[in-house]
């Protein structure tokens, strides 16, 4: 199977092509084309993963371009990381394809939607299979295109158009870094091949300064794609896309591509302490920064978007603390529970037709399946013991502690507290209490939507057990087998970390419950506490006001500042350049006046100028 | 010269030229004697068959060692062989377009000429690729030019077509004069028109004053020939001529005629100035000294072509500027004079052949159907004819240089050439990148029309067989060369032996 793993991305590509050409005739049946073909690629991916458990890494390459002494190759590689990512991507994609059949029902442009999904899945799988940076870069851009098309799917909405543009531009900024880093690496090592680059790093063929510089530049690309500070702002805006898209692209796969890139190039990063530290700091800061913003959002998808940014920060922190396994582990569990949360949120939106959580409430009784599934996702992301997020987050905290950055560790713990708090705030406001606005026809989503959620729900519970301190670190052992440069298979952190993590997460949940869940309990339980009620109420406002005053106004101030830069500096330059080019074009077309004399004269003038230069410089320019 | 000497030459190596010549002559006679009412379309098919036969003959000689006839007036070397494939292939596709060309007016009386003049023009271009003597090179150039002048004005009763032919002739005359003036310097200094003879004489040139004169000669030859490339400062004829000429002729000018121009420039400038020392024996050749001038022209051409293209609303004018811009890109390959220069030029011409001819096939179809050449006619093409729109989309992405298409690989080749070598051309490469970005605007403008604008009409297109074949070949080749560029590059590497026989 591994020898033919290149077939996997061809399934979604085929789906894209079929729907592009025949989509209008297939109409809603397009969904079946997409679902069946991604299902095929999922089955294939799983088979490849199982084979990879026992077989060694398979790599196949062929000459792609020979120019002079330059030989570029193209091919694919199935190593542990690739095989795992393939399954994650195929699985989430397949589930999202299925889910969309219900969610997008009735939309006229279903074939287009599924065609874009196919294109994106193809690009993402191609990215994962790439054995060299050049190929990675091509697919990297292609996933960007897929994301752009899908965010702007409702292109008649101004916000969606703006968001698509913003996403494209912000990630492009990062891509420039990646491109420059890639070219510099090629210059230094004479190869785009991962293996060749790692070899050069191992053998010291590339100096320490160059390693740091190229690693940081490549990390800039990852920052853009994974929505890390300061290039994170596009991700919450990207929520303008259809919700299944948010689940697939902006939660589980594409935004994780930045983390994947750092993981795939880990031996390069690991060779530079500066690079690792930068990643860890950016990751930790993003984790707490985005989590704090998530505390005050009222749009259900935006809360989840900030949560994604924050969780990606966690993964970066893990990688930056040399916790390769922790980062990849969390990447996997996060893909499952965050996709679940988005799909469940989509199910809620589907039922109540609003995204504002202030207008929701009391949906637990009405959405009998979505509610519990959302709760599972919330418990998992909050790090409640025995669910998947608990184990991977614990691994990250241990890695951060062992990495010797107590401050970053502290930030991560606080972020974990925030995460538990805002996730349960979300849960309580949506599902408990009384409906805060009139809602008619609220009904559970059809089976085609709930089934994918159930699958993800199961995975959100159990996927953590592949790597636990209690039942063995199977995933870690497997990921690092035969490769010393990836670090330890797991980090043996002190036992109290797990207890702290648990306590922090429970504290967050408890606080959220006191503030937002109290409405359902105020009559019997809260009144019994008497005076405490006042303080808690006060505290609730205090927190919201606090963030209103600090984080929000700070963000606002920053956004004004950035907007200022954007308006006058960036836009000014862009307008200036565009105006200059336009003016040039205008002048040029004026000279082109249709008079053949002018044309001849121009040729003579051109010749004369060159001859004069030639004569004045004594024959030669040099 | 005795008959024995004449017979001793391997005339067989001229087989492709003979085939084209014979068929062109045959068609012109047939046209004379055939009743007026009979459809001349069959001429087109005969012409295509002749070109296919010529390609076969050429392919049969692919590994033929270098050979020459009559003191190098005709020579068959690796350079001429691989480039002749481009000329022949391009002409065959153009003839296919011509067969499907059904203008509403102006061509009633000249259908026959329309087909065989392409063949004579092609013959001229092939001579330009295959000669080592200034006289025959010039004759080939004129044969190509004069045939093209008539072709541009072949819609006799169409005023635009007339205007275009007129402008083309006048500008062509000026360019010829300049070129010849430059060549006369070379002849005056060496007393021979044979390129090898010239190179031999100049190699031992001691007096730097002569080098100075040769520098002037270089500039004049280069500027004169810039006319054929539609490169600055001799580009201004292109938009008017491209717009007025019948679409297949425009396609011919932008692909075959331009390729012939590059072939001639490479042959002449490299043979004469590539070996002539600039300052006494052993010093660096004049050509290296003149690199900056070529770079200057290349940069100006890219900027002018891409920038003015932004303001065009007529699709043929837009493609005229786009074609100017592409000439600039290829000049970058020439200016960098790297060891991959031949590869880069050849591959780019090949890629350009397919992507541009394919685009012209769509342009011809749409503008003929709508009776207008405005870009707005492409609005909603995706709704009206998704396949056509998809094909045009691929071709335009390739012209813009997107990964996965032939145009991308072509640009990568040129980049690599510009960056390697002793003095990398960073400025030129930056201009190329910047102008490529500018070109996205107008290329994507067309794509926006095709995919995102509502259609004014709902009518579908009937795609004539000729255009269908051209489109299929062009799109397939654009994609294949984009994904597996080595299919073409290996072919060239295997049969050219690094072009070592170029100067033999």
For B459-484, the pLDDT digits (tens) are 888 889 999 999 999 999 999 999 88
pLDDT higher than threshold 90 for residue B504: no
d(CA A526, CA A537): 11
- Do residues B413 and B333 lie in contact, with contact meaning Cβ atoms separated by under 8 Å? yes
On whether residue B158 sits in a domain, the answer given is no
Task: Looking at the complex, report in whole angstroms how far the Cα of residue A616 sits from the nearest Cα belonging to chain B.
Answer: 12
B302 min Cα distance to partner chain A (Å)? 13
Distance from CA of A180 to the nearest CA of B (A): 14
Percentage with pLDDT > 90 across chain A:
2
Smallest Cβ–Cβ distance between A596 and the set B167, B219, B438 belongs to B167
Which chain B residues have a beta carbon less than 8 Å from that of A588? Answer: 304, 307-308, 311
A585 min Cα distance to partner chain B (Å) = 4
Estimate the share of chain A in helix, then strand, then coil, as percent rounded to the nearest 5: 75, 5, 20
B309 within domain boundaries:
yes
Considering CB atoms only, which of B175, B292, B308 is closest to A621?
B292
Q: Which domain holds residue B354?
A: 292-504
Say if residue A474's pLDDT is above 80: no
Query: What is the percent of chain A with per-residue pLDDT over 70, rounded to a whole number?
Result: 87
* Distance from chain centroid for Cα A408: 22
Q: How many CB pairs under 8 A join A and B?
A: 121
| Closest Cβ opposite residue A606 in set B166, B223, B413 | B223
Q: What is the pLDDT of residue A523?
A: 32
Q: Do B339 and A68 touch (CB under 8 A)?
A: yes
Nearest CB neighbour to B219, from listed A581, A592, A610: A610
Distance (Å, rounded) from C-alpha B439 to C-alpha B444? Answer: 8
Of B240, B416, B484, the CB nearest to A70: B416
Report the C-alpha gap between A80 and A55 in whole angstroms: 10
A53-67, B8-22, B72-86, B259-273: the lowest-pLDDT one: A53-67
Q: Cα A474 vs. chain centroid, distance in angstroms?
A: 26
B221 sits in which H/E element: helix B208-229
Residue B449 covered by a domain: yes
d(C-alpha B497, C-alpha B504), whole Å: 13
**In this complex, is the C-beta atom of A600 within 8 Å of any C-beta atom belonging to chain B?**
yes
A605 in contact with B, Cβ within 8 Å: yes
Distance CA A326, CA A334 (A): 12
**Which positions ≥6 away from A257 have C-beta within 8 Å?**
A124, A127, A140, A143, A222, A225, A226
**What pLDDT, on a 0 to 100 scale, did the predictor assign at position A492?**
66
Mean pLDDT of chain B: 89
Query: CB A600 to CB B296 under 8 A?
Result: no
User: Between chains, do B167 and A599 touch, taking CB under 8 Å as contact?
Assistant: yes
pLDDT higher than 50, residue B287: yes
- Is B245 within a domain? no
User: Taking residues A162-170, what's their average pLDDT?
Assistant: 75
Rounded Cα distance between A85 and A479, Å, is 12
Q: Which residues of A touch B493 (CB under 8 A)?
A: 66
Q: Give A-chain residues touching B167 at CB under 8 angstroms.
A: 596, 599
Q: Which of A70, A582, A594 sits opposite B240 (nearest CB)?
A: A594
pTM of the model: 0.73
pLDDT recorded at residue B28:
92
Contacts of B492 in chain A (CB under 8 A): none
Q: Which range, of A19-28, A97-106, A376-385, averages the lowest pLDDT?
A: A19-28
**pLDDT single digits (tens) A409-436:** 888 888 888 888 888 888 888 887 777 6
Indicate the number of domains in chain B.
1
Interface of A with B in 34-73 (CB under 8 A): 63-68, 70
- Which chain B residues contact residue A149 at CB under 8 A? none
| pLDDT per residue as tens digits for the range B405-447 | 999 999 988 988 887 766 778 888 889 988 888 888 888 888 8
Round to whole Å and give the CA distance between A307 and A311. Answer: 6
Q: Is the pLDDT of residue B25 over 70?
A: yes
Q: Which of A131, A133, A141, A129 is nearest to A9 (CA)?
A: A129
Percent of chain B's residues with pLDDT above 70: 98
**Nearest CB to A581; choose among B278, B310, B339:** B310
Alpha-helical segments (H) within B34-133: 41-60, 78-99, 111-129
Q: What is the predicted pLDDT for the residue at A459? A: 87
Which residues, numbered 207 to 246 in chain A, qualify as contacts with chain B under a Cβ-Cβ cut-off of 8 Å? Answer: none
Closest chain A residue to B236 measured between Cα atoms? Answer: A599
CB atoms B311 and A589 under 8 Å: yes
Residue A616 near chain B (CB below 8 Å):
no
Residue among A20, A600, A611 minimizing CB distance to B171: A600
Best interface-test mutation with A: which of B179, B181, B236, B417 has the largest number of A CBs within 10 A?
Answer: B236
Considering only alpha carbons, which residue of chain B is nearest residue A622? B289
Please check whether residue B446 is in contact with residue B343, taking contact to mean a CB–CB distance below 8 angstroms.
no
> Which of left, alpha, beta for A204 (phi over 0: left; psi -120 to 50: alpha)?
left
By Cβ distance, the residue of B211, B233, B390 closest to A603 is: B233
A500-535 confidence digits (pLDDT tens) = 888 888 888 888 787 777 654 443 333 333 344 334
pLDDT score at A550: 60
Could B239 and A592 be called an inter-chain contact, meaning their C-beta atoms sit closer than 8 Å? yes
Give domain status of residue B123, yes or no: no
Question: A622–B289: do the CB atoms touch at under 8 Å?
Answer: yes
Residue of chain A minimizing CA distance to B310: A585
- Say if the Cβ atoms of B403 and A619 lie within 8 Å: no
CB contact under 8 A, B308 and A64: no
Determine the Cα–Cα distance for residues B243 and B467; give it in Å rounded to an integer. Answer: 20
Cβ neighbors of B100 (< 8 A, separation 6 or more) are B364, B464, B465, B466, B467
End-to-end CA separation in angstroms for chain B: 24
Cα of A12 to nearest chain B Cα, Å: 18
pLDDT digits (tens, 9 = 90+) for A275-313: 888 889 889 888 887 887 777 777 888 888 888 988 999
Interface test with B, best of A10, A598, A620, A622 (most B CBs within 10 A): A620
| CA angle, residues B261, B119, B321, in degrees to nearest 5 | 40
ipTM for the predicted complex: 0.88
In A, which residues are within 8 Å of B420 by CB distance? 68
Q: Report chain A's terminal Cα–Cα distance, integer Å.
A: 61
């Amino acid at each position: 199977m591994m020898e033919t793993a290149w077939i996997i991305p061809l399934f979604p590509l085929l789906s894209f092509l079929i729907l592009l050409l025949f989509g209008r005739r297939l109409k809603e049946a397009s969904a079946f084309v997409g679902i069946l073909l991604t299902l095929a690629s999922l089955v294939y991916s799983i088979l490849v993963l199982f084979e990879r458990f026992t077989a060694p890494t398979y790599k196949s390459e062929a000459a792609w371009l020979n120019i002079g002494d330059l030989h570029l190759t193209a091919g694919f590689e199935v190593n542990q990381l690739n095989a795992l990512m393939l399954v994650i991507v195929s699985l989430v994609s397949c589930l999202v394809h299925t889910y969309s059949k219900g969610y997008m029902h009735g939309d006229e442009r279903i074939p287009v939607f599924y065609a874009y999904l196919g294109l994106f899945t193809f690009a993402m799988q191609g990215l994962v299979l790439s054995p060299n940076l050049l190929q990675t870069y091509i697919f990297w851009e292609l996933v960007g295109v897929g994301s752009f098309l899908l965010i702007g799917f409702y292109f008649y909405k101004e916000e969606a158009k703006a968001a698509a543009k913003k996403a494209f531009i912000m990630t492009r900024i990062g891509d420039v870094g990646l491109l420059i880093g890639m070219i510099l690496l090629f210059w230094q090592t004479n190869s785009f091949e991962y293996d060749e680059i790692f070899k050069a790093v191992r053998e010291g063929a590339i100096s320490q300064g160059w390693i740091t510089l190229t690693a940081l530049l490549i990390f800039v690309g990852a920052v853009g794609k994974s929505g890390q500070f300061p290039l994170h702002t596009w991700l919450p805006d990207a929520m303008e896309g259809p919700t299944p898209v948010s689940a697939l692209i902006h939660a589980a796969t594409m935004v994780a591509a930045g983390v994947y890139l750092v993981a795939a190039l880990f031996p390069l990063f690991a060779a530079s302490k500066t690079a690792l530290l930068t990643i860890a700091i950016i990751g930790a800061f993003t984790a707490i920064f985005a989590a704090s913003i998530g505390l005050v959002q009222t749009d259900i998808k935006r809360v989840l978007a900030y949560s994604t940014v924050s969780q990606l920060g966690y993964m970066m922190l893990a990688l930056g603390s040399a916790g390769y396994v922790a980062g990849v582990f969390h990447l996997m569990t996060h893909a499952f529970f965050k996709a679940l949360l988005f799909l469940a949120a989509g199910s809620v939106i589907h039922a109540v037709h609003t995204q504002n959580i202030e207008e929701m409430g009391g949906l637990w009784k009405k959405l009998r399946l979505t509610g519990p599934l959302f709760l599972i996702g919330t418990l998992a992301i909050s790090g409640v013991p025995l669910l998947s997020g608990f184990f991977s987050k614990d691994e990250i905290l241990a890695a951060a502690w062992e990495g010797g950055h107590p401050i970053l560790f502290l930030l991560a713990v606080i972020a974990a507290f925030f995460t538990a708090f805002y996730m349960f705030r979300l849960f309580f406001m949506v599902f408990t209490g009384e409906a805060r606005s009139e809602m008619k026809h609220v009904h559970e989503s059809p089976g085609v939507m709930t089934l994918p959620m159930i699958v993800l729900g199961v995975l959100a519970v159990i996927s953590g057990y592949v790597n636990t301190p209690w039942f063995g670190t199977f995933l870690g052992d497997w990921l690092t087998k035969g490769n010393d440069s990836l670090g330890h298979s797991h980090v043996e952190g002190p036992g109290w970390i797990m207890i702290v993590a648990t306590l922090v997460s429970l504290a967050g949940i408890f606080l959220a419950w006191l503030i937002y869940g109290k409405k359902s309990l105020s009559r019997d339980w809260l009144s019994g506490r008497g005076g405490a009620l006042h303080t808690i109420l006060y505290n609730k406002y205090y927190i919201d006001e606090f963030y209103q005053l600090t984080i929000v106004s700070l963000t606002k101030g920053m956004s004004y500042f950035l907007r200022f830069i954007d308006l006058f500096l960036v836009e000014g330059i862009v307008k200036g350049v565009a105006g200059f080019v336009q003016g040039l074009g205008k002048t040029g077309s004026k000279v082109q006046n249709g008079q053949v004399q002018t044309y001849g004269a121009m040729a003579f003038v051109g010749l004369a100028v060159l001859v004069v230069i030639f004569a004045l410089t004594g024959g030669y320019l040099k | 010269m005795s008959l024995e000497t004449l017979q001793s030459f391997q005339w067989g190596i001229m087989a492709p030229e003979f085939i084209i010549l014979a068929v062109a002559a045959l068609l012109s006679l047939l046209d004379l004697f055939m009743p007026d009412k009979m459809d001349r379309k069959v001429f087109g098919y005969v012409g295509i068959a002749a070109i296919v036969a010529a390609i076969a003959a050429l392919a049969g000689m692919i590994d033929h060692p270098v050979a020459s006839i009559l003191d190098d007036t005709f020579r068959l070397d690796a350079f001429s062989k691989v480039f002749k494939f481009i000329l022949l292939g391009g002409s065959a596709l153009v003839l296919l377009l011509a067969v499907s060309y059904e203008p509403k007016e102006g061509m009633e009386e000249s259908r026959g000429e329309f087909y065989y003049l392409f063949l004579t023009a092609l013959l001229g271009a092939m001579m330009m690729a295959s000669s080592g003597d200034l006289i025959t090179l010039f004759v080939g150039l004129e044969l190509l030019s004069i045939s093209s002048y008539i072709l541009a004005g072949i819609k006799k009763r169409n005023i635009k077509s007339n205007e275009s032919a007129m402008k083309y002739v006048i500008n062509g005359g000026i360019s010829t004069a300049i070129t010849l003036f430059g060549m006369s310097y070379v002849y005056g200094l060496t007393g021979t028109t044979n390129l090898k003879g010239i190179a031999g004489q100049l190699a031992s040139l001691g007096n730097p004053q002569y080098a100075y004169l040769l520098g002037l000669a270089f500039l004049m030859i280069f500027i004169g020939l810039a006319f054929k490339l539609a490169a600055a400062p001799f580009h201004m004829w292109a938009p008017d001529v491209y717009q007025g000429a019948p679409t297949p002729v425009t396609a011919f000018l932008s692909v075959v005629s331009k390729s012939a121009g590059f072939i001639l420039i490479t042959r002449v400038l490299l043979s004469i100035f590539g070996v002539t020392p600039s300052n006494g024996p052993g010093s660096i050749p004049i050509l290296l000294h003149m690199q900056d001038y070529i770079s200057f022209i290349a940069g100006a051409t890219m900027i002018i072509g891409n920038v003015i293209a932004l303001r065009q609303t007529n699709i043929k004018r837009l493609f005229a500027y786009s074609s100017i811009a592409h000439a600039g890109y290829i000049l970058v390959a020439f200016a960098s004079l790297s060891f991959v220069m031949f590869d880069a030029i050849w591959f780019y011409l090949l890629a350009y052949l397919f992507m541009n001819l394919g685009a012209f096939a769509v342009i011809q179809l749409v503008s003929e159907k709508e009776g207008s050449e405005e870009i707005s006619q492409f609005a909603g093409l995706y709704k009206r004819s998704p396949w056509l729109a998809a094909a045009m989309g691929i071709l335009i992405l390739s012209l813009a240089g997107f990964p996965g298409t032939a145009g991308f690989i072509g640009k990568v080749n040129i980049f690599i050439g510009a960056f390697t070598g002793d003095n990398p051309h960073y400025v030129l490469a930056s201009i190329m990148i910047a102008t490529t970005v500018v070109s996205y605007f107008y290329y994507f403008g067309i794509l926006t029309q095709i995919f995102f604008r509502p259609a004014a009409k709902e009518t579908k297109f009937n795609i004539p067989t000729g255009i269908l074949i051209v489109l299929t070949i062009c799109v397939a080749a654009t994609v294949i060369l984009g994904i597996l560029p080595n299919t073409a590059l290996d072919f060239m590497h295997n049969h050219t032996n690094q072009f070592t026989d170029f100067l033999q």
